[in-house]
Structure 1
Amino acid sequence: MRPHDMGTLFDEVAARNPHTTVHLDRPFDIAPSDSGSGVDYTVAQLSGLVREASGWLYAAGARRGDRVAVVKRNHYDYDLLACAAVRIGAVPALLSGHLSDDVLEILLKRLDPAVLVTDRVPPVGLARRVLALGSPVPGALTLDDVRGSRAPAPRRRQNDAPLVVNHTSGTTGVPKLVVHTTRTIVHRLARFEAVRWPVIGVRRDDVVANASSYAHGRTFCWTASVFCLAPRKIVLLSDPASASSVLAQHPPTTVEALPSAYVRWQPLAARPDNPFRDVRLFVSTYDAMHPPAMRAMLHASQRKRPLWMQGWGQTETGPLTFRFLTRRALDRSPDARDLGRPVPGRTRLRVVDPATFAPVPRGQSGLVLARTKARCVGYVGEQDRWQAKNTGPWWNTGDLGVLTRGGAVRLLDREVDAVPGLSCLQVEDLVEDRLPEVVECVVLGTPGRPPIPVLVMSGPLDPMVWRHAVSDLPPMSDPHVLAWDDVPRTATGKVRRLDLLTRLVGSAETYGTGRWT
């Protein structure tokens, strides 16, 4: 089965592949436990929930071409609401519940949604109607007000019409609102994944687990592919902390999770009863993975040859490169900056001089440009910013990197985060590999100061051990040790580096220009 219409996806899957069961770590926010719903679903039940939710949105006033904004606690019902909006011809705009009130207000002004579905008190006047989840909001509808509303017939749309809006991670400021179409995100991306590729493809007997940020475009695309491939079970975690109990009940054979989730799962993976014993394939996207976390997960598997697949890309483009790692490859301490090769026949990369945009030779650093037919079609309210990142058919990723002689891309840093004379990512990788007690290392740069290392520790830091570990690295200031929760993060767990820098030194000034963030 090849995905096409996200509004009727679950109907079609339920008709063709009804055997898949879905298991949650907590009830959906749109179907709370007091409504009689639980944590176990068939695909047919999900299909019914999407159809019912489309009636709610229609009753709330959403019509063909309107935007429906969703902002709530993290859970997979983001994607169900997105499919419900698509079903009535509307355009879902999924906004993370991690967004601050001031950022949310900016994004809602750009979106001008007909309906806002939310579990928080929204800014006044930024949506024509508000559908409140959970506690009542003055002037807003509740689910009880719209339950039982008749769902209209599905509305089809053109392949190049806006389908979904997702925001970028927002590590460097206000996130961008990325517009994808059926052609870019479903035909170009999801259909490529909805194939039973050898080794990496989803099998019918798989138990597929996902711990993601469901407001982001990755899971919308993942939904289209994984349900079409019809594994035996799909396990969805709204919180990585629930892995210990939920995955013990449903031991996965494939896992896709945020890099930050894998980092936090390392103690769990070290336990004899770890739930990753039967995993044959680990998948990571969103951000670079440092070897210690990958090594811990692969060694937690009791499979003979478990595999790690890392994808690198952007919300605007989908995956651009892949690399595959085994235990043996990780034991050779690979460079975490090596992000693999472009997807054959689907993406191309080139590296150019940041000032002239002239191509640079292989092995020389510069700005990484990408060419893919899956590129988004715009930014809501910032089309000039989207246009500024286009160089003919090439897309400016805003990353600094190197194309090796073998065609692989080695990432150095985001241009805005770059520090002359070193790669922050490389230093972070080396520190985490040399000091197992370092859960996470972040290196920040600002003019007039040595680079600033920030450490999240699993135990105390011995100053002598630290000095020995970094003795051969470029000079840095003394490290700042912070708790995990004290580091500002995006919904995907990425560190908001500029916010962190401002907290530490009172300024967000960096060496980079930030022109292509």
Structure 2
Amino acid sequence: MEMVGAIPDNFPALVDRASREFGSTEAISDGDVSLDFAELGQQIREAAGALVASGVKRGDRVAVWAPNSWEWVVAAMAVFRVGAVLVPVNTRFKGREAAFVLKKANVKLLFTVVGFLGNDYVSDLRDSGEKVDSIDDIVVLRGDVLEGTVSFQDFLNRNTDGDFEEAESRAAAVSGSDLGLIMFTSGTTGVPKGVMVEQGPIIRGFSHYARELGMRQGDRMLIVNPFFHAFGFNGAINPCFIHGATMLPHPIFDVPSVLQRIQDEQVTVFPGPPAIFQGLINYKNLADYDTSSLRSAVTGAASIPVETVVDMRERLGFDTVVTAYGMTETHGLVTICAADDPPDVVANTSGKALPGIELKLLDDDNQEVEQGEPGELLVKGYAVMRGYLDEPEQTAETIDEDGWMRTGDICVMDAQGYIDITDRKKDMFINGGFNTYPAEIESTMLEHPAVGQVSVIGVPDERLGEVGAAFVVPAPTGPPDLEELAVWCKKEMANYKVPRYFWLIDELPLNPSNKVLKTELRDRASALLS
């Protein structure tokens, strides 16, 4: 086994190490484009020079709003090189939602796409009616170059020798404790919050995860998890640079195309939420594809049946299946199973804390619970975020003065320290791996003229884990047409937020402090669905 240099604590040094140690190993394969680690490193360095030429300074915010692609990786890693901060934007966002994020983060330059997979984010933004004054430049990574934007190639051509040298000297000054990314997570208050995370903790936590997956040079990782998400950037791009594994970005999950890609590209490592693996296992033509190259999988972000873990090993051919738990606020990772944990442990727990991270469970009176009793999970250690961007009150509500961070997740812990997440303290539900916040959906739906009041809950769904159900109190002018309301929601919000079910209700059940009794709505929903 050849010795590879120590893992650095920041992304510019990680890219340089990969170029040096894994130079001729394929780094990324995307359609007709294949780059080895030396070529990818060079592309990133040139893009960094172009950022300097474009006036991006240390600490400036640069956004990437695009599906998974080789250009995403180049743009993102170039941002870190010049000492700037990366703001990934959810590809499912509509123009109005993206504008909020771009304004809040004060983004100076936006990398995006026009016409790739039918997306035209530039027009979405321009047609949203929101003006983002901070943006000086829009660079089109792929697709048609609209007026007032610049192509990726023309952007790269801005790089001069002087800019390149300036970028290189900035790269050398980056450290792991620098603010790395602002990742927006939808808030219970109904607007997304910018989670400030550093570079070092992402590399530290996910190098442990990559070891449990047994990742090694020459591995081939299929990346269906969106790059804008912690599971996609922190949990896929980052470990591939650490270990010299090939990134195989896959912009859209579609069962036959994923199975074909596994067979054609000899995929070995595949992270994803349970719904993705269940989709493959349940596919009627699974036997037509050769998935024997698969070796390691990590899943999480939703509960998973034991049968799924067993099927992943027996029917898809994985040797290693582990589950993990984390949130954007913890740099993406808190706990993980060990590679040799038995299927029932993998299915029924989310593993135990990473080294260097402490956990405790508290009851409603802030007392630690007895072992095996449910309590809210609190996390302390290097994984805790810096805080929410420009939200000191929300940060203080989440992280106490001793550094303990409330996750809002209820779980039980066993004698070995393994946790099982049983409930969301907040009313968030997870739809196909996407955190979905009722408050955000409700505040949008209230803008509809026929909606008087609305309460949204998550209801179980076999394929996606949970989907939304909306209880609607009609406005005084009369009840909404529910089919029309569903169409309206699809226009106004990302598709995973759109409720699957809409029910009219005379009044919402309230508790004495006038909060909606969601437990009562859940009971009604299960009665209606049965």
Q: CA offset at residue 178 of structure 1?
A: 1.3
Counterpart in the other structure of 1:342: 353
Match for residue 395 of structure 2?
Answer: 386
Q: Which amino acid aligns with 1:67?
A: R
Question: After superposition, what is the alpha-carbon deviation per residue over 1:75-98, rounded to whole angstroms, capped at 9, x for unaligned?
Answer: 353332121011112111111111
Residue matched to 1:263:
278
Q: Scaled by the length of structure 1, what TM-score is found? A: 0.73
Aligned to 1:77: 71
Partner of 1:84, secondary structure, is helix
CA distance in 2: counterparts of 1:448 and 1:7, whole angstroms: 47
Partner of 2:266: 251
- RMSD over aligned CA atoms reads 3.9
After TM superposition, list the pairs within 5 Å mapping 1:221-232 onto structure 2. Answer: 221-222=234-235, 223-231=237-245
The question of 1:415 aligning with 2:425 is answered: yes
1:402 and 2:412 are equivalent in the alignment: yes
Q: Note the alpha carbon deviations across 1:131-165, whole angstroms, 9 max, x for none.
A: 24133344333335423122343212344331222
The 3 A distance-change label for structure 1 pair 49 and 339 is same
1:376 matches 2:385: yes
From the two aligned structures, give the one with the greater helix fraction: 2
Superimposed CA distance per residue, residues 163-205 of structure 1 (whole angstroms, 9 cap, x where no aligned partner): 222223668843321111233323x3244456xx4x6321235
Cα distance in 1 for residues equivalent to 2:374 and 2:182: 33
Distance of aligned partners of 1:224 and 1:335 in 2 relative to their CA distance in 1, 3 Å threshold: closer
201, 210, 219: which is aligned to 1:184?
201
Q: Secondary structure, in 3 states, of the residue corresponding to 1:360?
A: coil
Q: Where do 1:292-331 residues align within 5 Å?
A: 292-302=307-317, 306-317=319-330, 318-323=332-337, 329=343
The answer to whether structure 1 residue 283 and structure 2 residue 298 are counterparts is yes
Deviation at 1:292, TM superposition (A): 4.5
Counterpart in the other structure of 1:142:
151
Number of residue-to-residue matches in the alignment = 439
- 2:259 aligns to what SS in structure 1? helix
| Secondary structure in 2 matching 1:407 | coil
Matched, 1:16 2:10: no
> Does residue 237 of the first structure (1) align with residue 244 of the second (2)?
no
Distance 1:449 1:292, change over 3 A: farther
CA separation of 1:294 and 1:326: change in aligned 2, threshold 3 A: farther
Q: Is the 8 A contact 2:180 2:197 kept in 1?
A: yes
Distance 2:69 2:406 in 1: 31
Q: Kindly provide the CA deviation profile for residues 21-67 of structure 1, in whole angstroms up to 9, marking residues without a partner as x.
A: 145353xxxxxxxxxxx332211221122122223333333111111
Matched residue SS, 2:288: coil
**Mapping 1:25-40, distance limit 5 Å:** 25-26=30-31, 38-40=32-34
Residues 49 and 274 of structure 1, relative CA distance in 2, 3 Å threshold: same
Among all aligned residue pairs of Structure 1 and Structure 2, give the percentage whose two residues are the same amino acid: 22
SS of residue paired to 2:371: coil
Equivalent residues in 2 for 1:456-475, closer than 5 Å = none
The answer as to 2:54 corresponding to 1:60 is yes
CA distance in 2, matches of 1:456, 1:171: 25
Helix, strand or coil: the match of 2:57?
coil
Query: Residues 359, 40 of structure 1: CA spacing in aligned structure 2 closer, same or farther, 3 A cutoff?
Result: same
Is the Cα–Cα contact under 8 Å of residues 94 and 492 in structure 2 kept in the other structure? no
Residue 174 (structure 1) aligns with: 191
Aligned equivalents of 2:250 and 2:41: distance in 1?
20
Task: Tell me by how many angstroms 1:456 deviates.
Answer: 5.4
Q: Which moved more, 1:13-22 or 1:282-291?
A: 282-291
8 Å Cα contact 2:322/2:346 also seen in 1: no
Look up the equivalent residue of 1:127 and give its one-letter code. Answer: S
Q: Tell me which amino acid in the other structure corresponds to 1:403.
A: M
- Counterpart-to-counterpart distance in 2, 1:302 and 1:328: 16
Most deviating of 261-270 and 109-118: 261-270
Q: Which runs of 5+ in 1 are unaligned?
A: 27-37, 419-423, 429-441, 459-482, 513-517
SS in structure 1 of the partner of residue 205 of structure 2: helix
Structure 1 contact 67–112 (Cα < 8 Å) conserved: yes
